[in-house]
Chain A
Amino acid sequence: MISAKYKQAFTKGLIKENPVLRLVLGTCPTLAVTTAAINGIGMGAAATFVLVCSNVVISLLRKVIPDKVRLPAFIVIIAGFTTIVQMLVKAYLPAIDKALGIYLPLIVVNCIILGRAEAYASKNSVGLSALDGLGMGAGFTGALILMGGIRELLGNGTLFGLPHGAILAHPITIFVMPAGGFFVFGILIWLANQLSDRFEKDAARRDTSKNVCAACPSAAICHQGTAQSEEACAVGGAKGGQHK
């Protein structure tokens, strides 16, 4: 059971709670840097590093940080790690630094990182927080690479820096413009919602022992599956209280 909990801490960030596509966090860097797939890798890796490190440190300090000043404290920790990343990227990958521009230092105010600190790392153990950061970072990186890949391929006719027009001779330039970014973003959100719904339905079908009525606001008056009237069921549509 413990391993399942750890596994879930990691996997939920991939699709079900994907920070970009399901939680719609970190939209600004997502739209701004995804004009090429390689930028997605750079941005994703940098944000994942900051996310994992800050999650671990915040989780370690979660009993020390007073509740009233928790947000400034989180930001200080996140800013520290972002500064490290920025220095490393500037020193070893100047091309990536140039492509990401202002969005690299802006990882400090990336709402995915602050969001996970507030919602997860400040309430969970170090191990779980590290896995959560890793999963969320992987989901963020995956979404950025996917979006950057689609936009680069259709809008520029290249992929991962191949020569211009190598794959598509006549690219559709609007895809590398902001309007195209929003369009691809919307389509990917729709896809992620579809996938996530399907996973949930599959899981519900497999896990028949799980009581679907538990989360229902009318569970107390509905008597789980024994209710005679449909009106008692708040979810509606399902007969006799048992929802599909």
Chain B
Amino acid sequence: MDSPLVITSSPHLHCGMTTRGVMLDVLIALSPAAAASVLLFGWRSAAVIVVCVAACLAAEYLSRIVLKRPQTAGDLSAVVTGVLLAFNLPASIPLWQAVIGGAAAIVVAKQMFGGLGQNFVNPALVGRIVMMASFPDAMNNWITPLQGSAADAVTSATPLAVLSQGGSMNYSMSELLVGIRPGCLGETCALALILGGLYLIARRVISPIIPLVYIGTVFIMTWLLGQNPLVHILSGGLMLGAIFMATDYTTSPINKAGKIVFAVGCGLLTVLIRVFGSLPEGVSFAIVIMNILVPLIERATRPLPFGEKRRLRNEQ
């Protein structure tokens, strides 16, 4: 540097927060759950994660070239989408189906609407829903955890599927907390997910409002409906969805009131689908439906500028 005088345009102070940095934090927060999934479901879950990440990165890279837009594959958002999609799949999923899910997530839900920050629903959840609609058998093939990497893995029903068929639970609370139950590969270990969530809250990447209100709503609703609330908050994809997917910046409201409305809506829909719907699990549909309602929530919870009086409805 020749001169001590540096002339730049504003802003002169910034906190150093970048997209890449945020995504890296999310990846760090997801790593305990990834490690837990490999311990629980064997090397197959690592293969699913790697394939999903590779498919999402390739889809992001290629679609930016086709759309003639600046390359964004380096901002790691596609890696986060890939990991989240993998966490939402059973470990036994055929790998080519995971590639289709990744491509649907990135190309259809994200890039066709303009890329990062423009998607109106969570891309990973779109990938999961496309796969649930397309490959219902493979998406409901749950491996029993902790049986190594045997090729002829034993499969069994998830706790929520057992509940929705009126059966009785045969998993203890501690088993549910550590994740020793069949399910999507990243959703079972509640402990690892909560650990990741605490890291994100401590790093101020996410605000605790959405996860707490979402899980709290599910707890209260299932308790009121006479179900076991602890089983409900520790089963299915609730922890994963509430901590990592409902908190996506693009598809969740900006201010506190909006976040609370959004999270209560997610909780209500999840319980309604779980208890009264035909599907055993409703987290992904609940979050996607509330994602679509976010613009309306934002409009209803727009804060009042300082000094302004609240206008009557008919004056607007």
Contact = CB atoms under 8 A, between A and B. Distances in A.
A173 B134 contact: yes
Contacts of A179: 133
A179 B108 CA distance: 12
A172 B108 contact: no
Nearest to B100: A172
Contacts of B130: 174
A183 interface: yes
A177 interface: yes
Central interface residue in B97, B135, B136, by most chain A CB within 10 Å: B135
A175 B108 CA distance: 14
Interface residues of B, number: 9
Contacts of A177: 133
Central interface residue in B130, B134, B136, by most chain A CB within 10 Å: B134
Contacts of A173: 133-136
A139 B259 CA distance: 48
Contacts of A170: 94, 97, 135
B108 A174 contact: no
Interface in A166-221: 170-175, 177, 179, 183
Contacts of B134: 171-175
Tell me if B's interface is mostly helix, strand, loop or mixed.
helix
Contacts of A174: 130, 133-134
A174 B133 CA distance: 5
Chain A contact patch, size range: under 10
A183 B108 CA distance: 9
B258 to A, nearest CB: 27
B93 to A, nearest CB: 12
Central interface residue in B94, B108, B130, B136, by most chain A CB within 10 Å: B130
Contacts of A183: 108
A172 B134 CA distance: 5
B127 to A, nearest CB: 11
Interface string B117-161: 000000000000010011110000000000000000000000000
Nearest to A155: B134
A177 B100 CA distance: 17
Interface in B246-293: none
B252 to A, nearest CB: 23
Interface string A60-81: 0000000000000000000000
A179 B94 CA distance: 23
Contacts of B136: 173
A72 to B, nearest CB: 40
A173 B131 CA distance: 9
B67 to A, nearest CB: 12
Contacts of B97: 170
A176 to B, nearest CB: 10
A156 to B, nearest CB: 11
A173 to B, nearest CB: 5
B256 to A, nearest CB: 34
A183 B100 CA distance: 15
B156 to A, nearest CB: 24
A183 B112 CA distance: 11
B12 to A, nearest CB: 37
A183 to B, nearest CB: 7
Central interface residue in B97, B133, B135, B136, by most chain A CB within 10 Å: B133
A167 B41 CA distance: 34
A164 to B, nearest CB: 15
B199 to A, nearest CB: 35
Contacts of B133: 173-174, 177, 179
Interface in B85-116: 94, 97, 100, 108
B20 to A, nearest CB: 31
A174 B134 CA distance: 5
Interface of A: 170-175, 177, 179, 183
Given A173-B134, A175-B134, 8 more contacts: A170-B97, A172-B134, A173-B136, A174-B133, A174-B134, A177-B133, A179-B133, A183-B108
10 nearest interchain CB pairs? A174-B133, A174-B134, A172-B134, A173-B134, A174-B130, A177-B133, A173-B133, A172-B100, A179-B133, A183-B108
18 contacts: A170-B94, A170-B97, A170-B135, A171-B134, A172-B100, A172-B134, A172-B135, A173-B133, A173-B134, A173-B135, A173-B136, A174-B130, A174-B133, A174-B134, A175-B134, A177-B133, A179-B133, A183-B108
